[in-house]
Structure 1
Amino acid sequence: MRKFKNGSANFYTIFLDSVEKIIPEYCHKDSSNDKKFALLENEQFQGLLRHSPAIIGIYNNVQNNYIFMSDNIETITGHSPEHYMGPKGMEYAISTLPSEHAAIYTQQIFPTIFQYFQSQVACKDIKRFRFTGTFQLIRKDGSVIWCMQQLNVIETDDQELPLLTMLIMSDITCVKKDNAVDFVVARRNDQDLFQNVYAATFPSPNKTISFTKRELEILQLLSKGKSSYDVAALLSISEHTVFNHRKNMLEKSEKKNTAELISFAINRGFIQ
């Protein structure tokens, strides 16, 4: 495996620090370490997973380790599922990322996810959220692939803090057309449709492009052919406010016009 200049252990320490700041260990009453999922133990389902293009994992947020990882991770990445299990599992997972991507995840993306975990305690809403990110992964043979990972909380404790998180990860090398790390937070509405509430892209280790929920709402409407006047009326804001948001988005993304901005946002998955 490729060696990193800063070492994966350092990135893992950063990850643990961010966990402790947002989700103190004392908050949890039940570790759910022995939680069993009948479906995951079903032989037919296991057979389907072995041939699936998507890797499935279950992460214990209290123990900070995976309690399940589908066998097909070895077929896709070359890494054995056993390496992801136990107390060193997350450290191993981080070690498979290039150092610049490990830094983005431990210093930017994971803290953002944990902040959403904490912010949704009062409204008991965290299970409605989906966190999607892209990153490069170094396979066991040293080759590099692009992956997309989606996370969502599947079980919480009595304080509505996350106990178990499910991940679905796929190889997207054949469709990834740039070298940027993308991150999107989406929330499922009452019609069971996901709406993006936050989006960011990291073209380089030192540059981040992010759009607020309001900016995404405006961008989504503009992509449907709505004029600034129409957008203002639909969102009950002034046309001047729409203009300012659009100007800010153009500056953030370094695009020349709205058409380029919309194309950029669609390609990043910020809007649909």
Structure 2
Amino acid sequence: MQKQKYNLFKEVFDTYKEYDGTIVADHIQKLRELDEFLPPMQSFFIVTNTSKQIYEFVSKNFEHTLGLSVEKMTTEGIKYWFSHFDPESLPVFLSMLEDLMNFTMTKVEKKDRHKLSYTWNIRVKNSKDEYVNIVEHQTPIYFDGEGKPIIGITHCSLIDEKNKRPIIASIKILNDKNEYETLFYKNYSQLLLSAAVTSREQDIIRLISLNNSSKEIAAKLSISIHTVHTHRKNILNKLNLKTSSELVTYFLNNQLY
């Protein structure tokens, strides 16, 4: 699985050599870190051009993962891809995208938008007419004159789960320690306990789940170890959890990666 994923990342940089060694590579390195801890998933990359409503690149693993056509993705674009979305979820998904762009354009300075990473999930019908859950991590790589992201590299992962999941979206930003900090998080399908968890606590949960010590978390988020310990205690109390394994389950179920 690790070899497969490494080759998948390499396929992107073989196509877009100009992004190797840039902040785009930093974002993708964060995905590699997640690979070590998340359950095995089938993944593929797409490059979305929202201004032209097309996909400029679709990795070879797309057909293997979903059984859908790479050729139709690149020729028919977003119309083809959206035709496989769960129709009940599509209006919520489109509203979610609008929220993410509104937040980006009003809450994030233009100079910092290349540091952003967007995460969301959607149900997609594969070639067997089965709905599967896809989690997408998108990194913006090109902006219009107003600083609006219009082209993004998206890493898509098929989660081995058939049940319908709530649509959850987040925006994270790379800090000066090359660690993500959550700026925006919303569950669009139902009110979960996560509504009571702050953005900082979500970052703590993610880093604990990725096997970081309190000292490492403090360094990555530029806070004191005492503050980390306080957050850990508050998180467990808020979520009524007792063990780290329960916290990891919460991390996965609430898509805090």
Q: TM-score range by the shorter chain?
A: 0.5 to 0.7
Deviation at 1:221, TM superposition (A): 5.4
Residue ranges of structure 2 left out of the alignment (5+ in a row): 1-11, 18-40, 215-223
* Residues 142 and 217 (structure 1), Cα distance of their counterparts in 2 relative to 1, 3 Å cut: same
**CA distance in structure 2 between the partners assigned to 1:209 and 1:63 by the alignment:** 36
Q: Deviations over 1:174-208 (max 9, x none)?
A: 5x877333322211111111122222334xx5x34
Partner of 2:81: 93
**CA distance in structure 1 between the partners assigned to 2:255 and 2:13 by the alignment:** 35
1:105 equivalent in alignment to 2:105: no
Q: Deviations over 1:76-119 (max 9, x none)?
A: 11111122224x42122122111222122112x21122113323
Deviation at 1:166, TM superposition (A): 0.9
Deviation at 1:149, TM superposition (A): 1.0
* Residues 116 and 127 (structure 1), Cα distance of their counterparts in 2 relative to 1, 3 Å cut: farther
Q: Is the 8 A contact 1:196 1:270 kept in 2?
A: no
Q: Is the 8 A contact 2:122 2:167 kept in 1?
A: yes
**CA distance in structure 2 between the partners assigned to 1:124 and 1:106 by the alignment:** 26
Deviation at 1:165, TM superposition (A): 0.9
Residue ranges of structure 1 left out of the alignment (5+ in a row): 1-36, 43-51, 226-230
Q: Deviations over 1:102-143 (max 9, x none)?
A: 122112x21122113323664421111111122221112212
Residue identity in the other structure for 1:39:
D
Which of 53, 59, 63 matches 2:52?
Answer: 63
How many residue pairs match? The answer is: 203
Partner of 2:138: 151
Q: Deviations over 1:226-259 (max 9, x none)?
A: xxxxx9x849xxx9xx9xx97xx96xxxx6x355
Deviation at 1:68, TM superposition (A): 1.6
Which of 191, 195, 210 matches 2:181?
Answer: 195
Q: Match of 1:267, SS?
A: helix
Residue identity in the other structure for 1:217:
R
* Residues 68 and 212 (structure 1), Cα distance of their counterparts in 2 relative to 1, 3 Å cut: same
1:142 equivalent in alignment to 2:117: no
**CA distance in structure 1 between the partners assigned to 2:170 and 2:101 by the alignment:** 14
**CA distance in structure 2 between the partners assigned to 1:143 and 1:110 by the alignment:** 24
**CA distance in structure 2 between the partners assigned to 1:59 and 1:96 by the alignment:** 16
* Residues 78 and 171 (structure 1), Cα distance of their counterparts in 2 relative to 1, 3 Å cut: same
**CA distance in structure 2 between the partners assigned to 1:212 and 1:187 by the alignment:** 20
Which of 148, 151, 154 matches 1:167?
Answer: 154
* Residues 219 and 259 (structure 1), Cα distance of their counterparts in 2 relative to 1, 3 Å cut: farther
**CA distance in structure 2 between the partners assigned to 1:97 and 1:132 by the alignment:** 17
For normalisation by structure 2, the TM-score amounts to: 0.62
Deviation at 1:209, TM superposition (A): 4.4
Compute the RMSD of aligned alpha carbons: 4.0
Aligned residues with identical type, % of pairs:
13
Alignment of 1:213-224 (within 5 A): 215-218=198-201
